[in-house]
Amino acid sequence: MALAAQLIAVVPAPPAEEIPVQEDSVQEDSVQQGSVQQGSVEPASVQEDRTEKEGANPLVLAGTTLTILGALTAWAYGAWWDTGDPLVSFHFKETGFLNQDTYAGGSDKLGHTYVCYLVVRAGTALYEALGLSHLVAAIVSSSAVFVVSNGVEVMDGFTEYGFEYGDVIANTLGIGLGILQDLSPQAERLVGMRLGYTPSRDFLVKDRTFIKWINDYSGMLFYFDVKGKGVAELFDRDPGLWRYVIGGVVWGTDKYSPVRIHEERRRSFGVHVGLSLPEVLRSAYEGDAGVEKLATFFDYYALPFISVTAMTDLNTGEWYLNFGVSNRLEIGL
């Protein structure tokens, strides 16, 4: 084949037959081609608007939203309102934030923050997949979560729980963190929030239902993270191995919920440092869509045994080391 190619290159090509060209037709063709080329490249804003108009079906958006609202309402009813007690007059209830006598020792407030944060991020991705632009999807998602989460608080005002403004503040903080990350890639690379959860012994003995696990605060740890990669990028530095490091603060409680044992209650606060599993996965399998989904899951869930936390019990002052399983497998200091 190489020899044939050389022979073809050596043999002169026959002279091309001249074809008369009309100048007017050339000009007309060039104008048409120019118009096609100009029309094929649109500003990003035009393309975004066109995508949104063509892809976002109002009926699909409305149906999806109503389905999600219905599912969340059913879950709330099963988890909190299905007590058989009659409704009461609307009333307020003050329980504090992270105080010793607050419901669940304050973990309930952080649970509100985490759930709102998580649902805002998931809602933005969902609405964007349904055809909305990223900005509109983030606004719709955060607005919907604000209305639903605080609507639940209003409903609580007619039950034995009462309306707690602390829950509204906790909801709003989670929504704010979610939309901040949706609108700022730098913030998303810098900070985050994760939940570490392993079912508690009390839950496994007492409840053991999917609906009720949301009240198993004894099995939960709430992580507020600062990411090594984001810190390095903030100062225009190459993160190097720091991209695999994650740190921050942790909150957890014990014997508040689902079983309350007054003399054994514990409110734990500490500082953690560990391995950023999402960064490990993304670096090892860069560009793999499946691995990216797995890494995204670990952006919100803290896997046990890949971090160490120095914690203090705010009720007693005792210190201990925790390795990612709430209230178990700890070392006293």
Among 183, 209, 241, give the residue marking a domain's end: 183
Question: Are 173 and 275 in a shared domain?
Answer: no
Which residues face 226 on adjacent strands? 191, 247
Contacts of 99 (CB under 8 A, 6+ apart): 106
pLDDT, average across residues 116-131: 95
Domain-located, residue 323 = yes
Separation of alpha carbons 16 and 197, rounded Å = 78
Q: In the prediction, which pLDDT does 223 show?
A: 98
Separation of alpha carbons 291 and 283, rounded Å = 10
- SS3 call for 198: coil
pLDDT in tens, 66-105: 887 777 777 766 666 666 677 788 888 877 889 888 889 9
Highest mean pLDDT among 47-56, 74-83, 99-108, 270-279: 270-279
Contacts of 189 (CB under 8 A, 6+ apart): 227, 229, 230, 233
- Mean pLDDT of all residues belonging to the chain: 82
Of 140-149, 210-219, 324-333, the range with the lowest mean pLDDT is 210-219
In the block, which residue shows the tokens 């989904």? 293
Sequential DSSP letters for 219-284: GEEEEEEEEHHHHHHHTT---GGGGGEEEEEEEEEESSSSS--GGG-EEEEEEEEEE-HHHHHHHH
| DSSP summary character for residue 163 | B
3: confidence class by pLDDT, cuts 50, 70, 90: very low
Question: Are 195 and 333 in a shared domain?
Answer: yes
Of 5-14, 136-145, 164-173, the range with the lowest mean pLDDT is 5-14
Among 138, 164, 183, give the residue marking a domain's end: 183
- SS3 call for 164: coil
Of 36-50, 242-256, 273-287, the range with the lowest mean pLDDT is 36-50
For residue 35, pLDDT over 50 is answered with no
Residue 112 is part of which domain span? 54-78+85-183
Among 141, 159, 183, give the residue marking a domain's end: 183
Report the length, in residues, of the chain. 333
Question: Are 158 and 257 in a shared domain?
Answer: no
Count Cβ neighbours within 10 Å for each residue of 156-186 and write b for 16 or more, e otherwise: bbbbebbbbebbbebbbbbbbbbbbbbeeee
Domain-located, residue 301 = yes
For residue 14, pLDDT over 80 is answered with no
The total number of structural domains that make up the chain: 2
Question: Are 330 and 284 in a shared domain?
Answer: yes
